[in-house]
Structure 1
């Protein structure tokens, strides 16, 4: 089934279809190798920096991990070692449905979700913003059905469970506005979900098919976006693939700092 809409990459308007994202095996293999190489190098840098930082008693174990990941990502960026850095709609070269990642920073360095903090990443075109990717970190009351084909994604802002802030009405701005615009333009959004084993799994492309505003559990107005998975460009059963533990760099053993 063809999916064809006007989409945007950088500041040029381009036409994208699912079929056009299917590239030759040689090009796909090359992109895949590049993603694996990038992740391997990033994990080595992270392990090295973690060993240097672990003596810092001013940080808790969790804070050391997060701080080290942020430093590693910034250094990677400065060294121009990140890949797929251009904002794009649709699939990311070298990344497949079901791929899993250990850290959110890994999504950043390979271009799957180019935001270290925000759950909604978006781009701008002609004074409008469009959602590129979202991360369901399960800090909000998002709901994924068992088939993984449908997702109810809560808008961002005013959630005391995420930040120490007072509950407030969510506004139609930033990522919320970008998701609304994506719904109207019918442009695809990449969905990544943090699973119970604390890995980030790439679920594929979804379309925003609905949006409502209602009172949330804190009594404030929140946005709820309904997303539905698009037909996959291959014949694989993505639900089975997603449920399998599949680290992208499967031949690299877990990098642990030895004391």
Structure 2
């Protein structure tokens, strides 16, 4: 599927057959927007706090979607190419829980309780020069947050970088969501990826995670 085809394939117009999980996700998103509209239009309402209020209410109404945030791998009802208008939407349905950080972290239940990454938001734009989305989407590069000291000694990994490395070591796939930061933001689900290599970017001394797409 080409990039242009993917970006037209917003949730709600996807030509795949409707599943119960997908119907629930569409219903939840529609209800979230209706609730947010009602909250904001009420006396004293403003977008930011009312968005969080609506998000909290959605957790109570759709507990099964809340569980998605801890899911490793793909989310039932969400397809490659589905597009979302905000990061809050991806959080409401559990595709990517975090509203600020670009890596979603959960505790690995394989016995060692180490944190792992389940999803990453790849933001493209002039403010994120290290992030790359290769043609066709088969490969991408995500630049982490942990910086390293001079001489590449005493490397200090952020919690997000540590989780990404743990996922790599355990061969765990990560959900990737691409966001174009030029103009109107859209968050597009690109599918599952695995980190194949980690390197240090010498210019700004941060870690770069090279990922390749795997089958859903």
Q: Structure 2-normalised TM-score?
A: 0.77
Instruction: Tell me by how many angstroms 1:114 deviates.
Output: 1.3
Which of 39, 46, 70 pairs up with 2:29? 39
Mapped to 2, the partners of 1:191 and 1:131 lie a distance apart of: 11
Superposed displacement of residue 136, structure 1: 1.6
Deviates more, 1:200-209 or 1:110-119: 110-119
- 2:140 is the counterpart of 1:151: yes
Q: Residue 183 of structure 1 is aligned with which of 160, 163, 168? A: 168
Is the Cα contact below 8 Å between 2:132 and 2:141 reproduced in 1?
Answer: yes
Instruction: Note if 1:133 corresponds to 2:119.
Output: yes
- Structure 2 match to 1:230: 214
Residue of structure 2 equivalent to 1:255: none
Q: Pick closer, same or farther for the CA change 1:198–1:74 going to 2, 3 Å.
A: same
Equivalent residue for 1:68? 50
Partner SS, residue 32 of structure 2? helix
1:163-204 Cα offsets, whole Å, 9 max, x none, are xxxxxx983131100111111111100000113431110000
Deviation of the 1:216 alpha carbon: 3.2
Larger-Rg structure: 1
2:185 aligned residue: 198
Whole-angstrom distance in 2 between the partners of 1:116 and 1:82: 18
SS in 2 for 1:155: strand
Which structure 2 residue ranges, 5 or more long, are not aligned?
A: 1-15, 148-153
SS at match of 2:23: helix
Query: How many aligned residue pairs are there?
Result: 185
